[in-house]
Chain A
Amino acid sequence: MSYTVLAAVSGLSAASDSGDGFEAPTPEEFYQPLFGSGDFSFTRPMALFAISAVLIAAFLIVTTRKAAVVPGKGQWITEQGYNFVRNGIAQDIIGSKEFLRYVPLLFTLFCTILVNNLFGVIPPFQYPTMGRVGFPIALALLVYVIYQVLAFKRKGVIGYLKSLIPDGLPTAIVPLILFLEIITYFVTRPVTLALRLFGNMFAGHLLLLLFILGGEYMMFHADGIHMKVFGAGSYILAAAMTVFEILIEALQAYIFTMLAATYIADSLSDHH
């Protein structure tokens, strides 16, 4: 354990002790406190999350401070992302009547998740913040609170429950459907929203870790020529997986934002 933590802290380079054979990377390696201890220790993902927030805020403010009718280069980049969230997600899903109120939330969600996910493969950071379940839960909790509050405010308790039941359902199965829908709306949705992001980032990064550490072990610590070949193959696979991982990271940012918009739209609409 001590060696793997060391390895992870020093940039995932050192493999486990050569005397012990290969130790597969474990989920524990994602816990990397910088100082403090216990539940309130300041961890590496916290630092990264703060850095990402500062970077995003600085970039967005700098590129939009002098927002012009004819955009410059930076403003153009920001506007591409903003357009994508505003028109591609918010307007399409929530509808052009009320979407503008939720654009800041969705845009911030998208930027935050995208940047933090990409931290998983960008060299100086190389740690997917969303691979620590606390962050996805924080974001999902926020979305959850917003869409539940919206639904209750719009429809009232009774109206909300009524809106969960599709029209024209036989009375006999209404309680069953209601139960399932309540589970869906109050449990499944937020949990999957958080865990999908977490699971993808966590598993993806663990996989990369496994390929890189395994490759290194076979390359430099194991005996035999064939092990060197396997190690090289492992490295090549790791490179390919990294490219795939970038795709997944962007896709997950899109999915999270889109699902948040979908849930909000569900709360705003009268019908099921």
Chain B
Amino acid sequence: MEGTINLGGNIAILGYGLSAIGPGIGIGLIFAAYINGVARQPEARGMLQSIAILGFALAEALAIFGLVLAFVFRSA
């Protein structure tokens, strides 16, 4: 055992990985749209920024649920 690294895991963490895919794509799309919008109309940056952050937060909520549920079911 000396010098070895034992990385144990739990199947629930894989669930988190799956749940992070969707939000990842969604967040990417949101910021892609935001960058597009700012590139087209730099003066709208302030307005677009709060909308983009809001969308980012909403999309991220799903990933957060995944993380939390991973811990919930891990101990179950």
Q: Which of A's residues lie within 8 Å of B, judged by CB?
A: 18-24, 27, 92-93, 188, 192, 195-196, 199-200, 203, 217-218, 221-224, 227, 251, 254-255, 258-259, 262
B57 within 8 A of A: yes
A199→B56 CA distance, assembly (Å): 15
Residue of B3, B7, B63, B67 ringed by the most chain A CB atoms within 10 A: B3
A255 touches B50 (CB 8 A): no
Contact residues in B for A258 (Cβ distance below 8 Å): 50, 53-54, 57
B5 touches A21 (CB 8 A): yes
> CB within 8 Å of A: which of B46-72?
46, 50, 53-54, 56-58, 60-61, 63-65, 67-68, 71
B29 to nearest A CB, angstroms?
18
> Number of A-B pairs whose CB atoms are under 8 Å?
60
Interface size class on chain B is: 20 to 34
Complex Cα gap A208–B67 (Å) = 16
Q: Which residues of B contact A93 (CB under 8 A)?
A: 50
Contact A259-B54, Cβ < 8 Å, known A195-B65, A199-B68: yes
Task: Give complex CA distance A221, B54 in Å.
Answer: 45
Query: Which of B2, B4, B53, B67 contacts A203, CB < 8 Å?
Result: B67
Which of B3, B8, B61 contacts A222, CB < 8 Å? Answer: B3
| B2→A18 contact, CB < 8 A | yes
Determine how close the nearest CB of chain B comes to the CB of A270; give it in whole angstroms.
21
